[in-house]
Amino acid sequence: MGCARLTDNQGAVIGFICGTGKTRSRAIRKRRRWKWCFNCRKRLPHMLTMTYEVKPSYYDPLIYWKCAGCSEDCTLFPGLFYD
């Protein structure tokens, strides 16, 4: 388990962020959907993907659409976000 040190502007330690650092990804749906990718600027197949920590963690799994072209989730117009 690795920890990152948090410091303020003067360099004093104010806390730590710790985590397992090991994550896994898996496809939730085998079938791909064609969606508009604002990064690639075209319609490409996207796969619904889930990334989660290997060990029990405080954080919930991250679910996103993975683009076949850029491997990122750029399905929303820039400036918008999922709730």
Predicted local confidence at residue 67, as pLDDT: 93
Domain boundaries along the sequence of the chain:
22-83
pLDDT at 35 over 90: yes
> Quick one: pLDDT band at residue 31, thresholds 50, 70, 90?
confident
> How do strand 23-27 and strand 42-53 relate by DSSP bridges?
antiparallel
18 or 76, which is more confident? 76
What is the predicted pLDDT for the residue at 66?
Answer: 92
Q: How far apart are CA 40 and CA 75, in angstroms?
A: 10
Q: What is the pTM of this model?
A: 0.64
Is the pLDDT at 57 greater than 80, yes or no?
A: no
